Amino acid sequence: MSVLVLGGAGYIGSHAVYQLVEQGEEVVVIDSLETGHREAIHPKATFYEGDIREIDFLRSVFKKETIDAVIHFAANSLVGESVEKPLKYFDNNVYGTQVLLQAMVEADVKHIIFSSTAATYGEPESVPITETMPTNPTSPYGETKLIMEKLMKWTEQAHDVKFVSLRYFNVAGAKETSEIGEDHRPESHLVPIILQTALGQRSHITIFGDDYDTEDGTCIRDYVHVEDLVQAHLLALDYLRKGGKSNIFNLGSNEGFSVKEMIETAREVTGKEIPAQIGKRRAGDPSVLIASSDKAKSVLGWNPTRTSVKQIIQDAWNWHSSHPDGYGKEG
C-alpha cells in the first residue's frame, strides 16, 4: 500500500515525503510544479506531474497505484495574494479538494491528512488558541482552508472518508542534513527573508510595524520546526490506520516570539549583522498567534524535539547558506 502525497514537491510536502520514505512507506507524489520544485522530490517516490483539479488525471493515478491514505499539501498559501485573487484560491484550494475527495470516494480510499492553518481562527479572542475556539478567518486563504475542512466533514458523513486536519502555526526550519529546505518564489516568510538578508541577498529586512500591543511592539508568532510538524502527519497516519476518528489538531510550540526576537536570534546564530528597518504594518496581520498543541500531544502522542527558535533558525541557516539560490536559479 502507498501513501499519496499531494504537493510533495513543496516545502512541507517534500519534508513529509522524506520522512515517509525513511519510515519505509511506499510514497506516490502528485505535484503541478507550479510552486514546488522537482529537485525537492525524494528519488524513491513515484512522481506524477499534474493538477488535482483534473479528475481524469487523479482517477488514472488512483487506478495505477494502490493507495490507502492521502496527505494533502497541494494548495496556494499566501495570505496577501489571496486577498488580491480570492477566486484563484477558491478554485485551486476548494475546488481542487472537492475533485480530490470525489476521486478518493470513487477509489474507496478512506484516510486523508490535511494541511490546515492558524489562519482559520482569524484574530483570536485569547491565546493560547485551542481547537474549540471560534473560527473567523480574515483572509480568503484562511476561509478556503476552513471550507476544505467542512468539505471533508460532510464527505465523511456520506462516504466514511476519515480525516485529520492539522492547523499549522508558523512553520520554519529545514531538514537536518540540508538536502531539502524552504524556497518560495517570491519569498514572503519571515525566517527565509531574515536569512537572505544575512547572506547579503537583501540590503535589509523590513519589520512590518512596531506599534502592536506587544512588549517590543512587533508581532508575536508561534514557530514550529518543519521536521516536528511532519512528524505529526506520520502520527496522524498511524492514528487513522488504527481506526481513529476524524479530528482537528493545532500544531505549534505553545510559545510566542516577536519579529525583533527572531531577528536577534538569527544574528546570534549566523554571526551576521542583519540590518532591519521599521516599516508599515502588513494588512491582515494579527498581533499575537500562539497555539495550544496539548491535544496533538495527548491524542497523537506528538513530541516535538527540534522546535526551539534557535534550532529552527540554525537548520534553516544551514540550508540557506549551503543553497544560496535555493533549488537553483530556474527553480
Binding footprint of ligand UFG on the chain (CB under 6 A): 77, 79, 117-119, 141, 170, 188-190, 193, 205-208, 219, 221, 259, 282, 285, 289
Q: Cβ closer to ligand UFG: 80 or 331?
A: 80
A 10 A CB-CB count for 149 gives 19
Q: Cβ closer to ligand UFG: 57 or 208?
A: 208
CB of 188 to ligand UFG, least distance (A): 5
> Which residue from 298, 166, 164 is spatially nearest to 240, judged by alpha carbons?
164
Inter-residue contact 223 to 298 (CB < 8 Å): no
A 10 A CB-CB count for 211 gives 11
Q: Cβ closer to ligand UFG: 61 or 94?
A: 94
What's the per-residue H, E or C state across 101-120? HHHHHHHCCCEEEEEEEHHH
Of 11, 141, 223, 239, catalytic: 141
* Cis amide prior to 192 (ω within 30 degrees): no
Measured N-to-C along each axis, helices 259-270 and 309-322 cross at an angle, to the nearest 10 degrees, of 60
CB of 245 to ligand UFG, least distance (A): 26
CB of 21 to ligand UFG, least distance (A): 25
Nearest to ligand UFG by Cβ — which residue? 219
CB of 158 to ligand UFG, least distance (A): 29
CB of 49 to ligand UFG, least distance (A): 24
Query: In angstroms, how far is CA 325 from the centroid of its own chain?
Result: 21
CB of 124 to ligand UFG, least distance (A): 10
Contacting residues for 41 by C-beta, under 8 A, at least 6 apart: 8, 9, 14, 17, 29, 31, 47
Task: Decide if 141 is catalytic.
Answer: yes
Q: What does the alpha-carbon distance between residue 43 and residue 156 come to, in Å, rounded to a whole number?
A: 33
Q: Cβ closer to ligand UFG: 139 or 155?
A: 139
Sign of the CA dihedral 277, 279, 282, 288?
positive
Inter-residue contact 218 to 148 (CB < 8 Å): no
Reported in sequence order, the residue ranges of the chain that DSSP labels E, i.e. its strands, are 2-6, 26-31, 46-49, 67-72, 111-117, 162-168, 170-172, 205-208, 220-221, 223-225, 247-251, 257-258, 276-279
Active site amino acids: 141
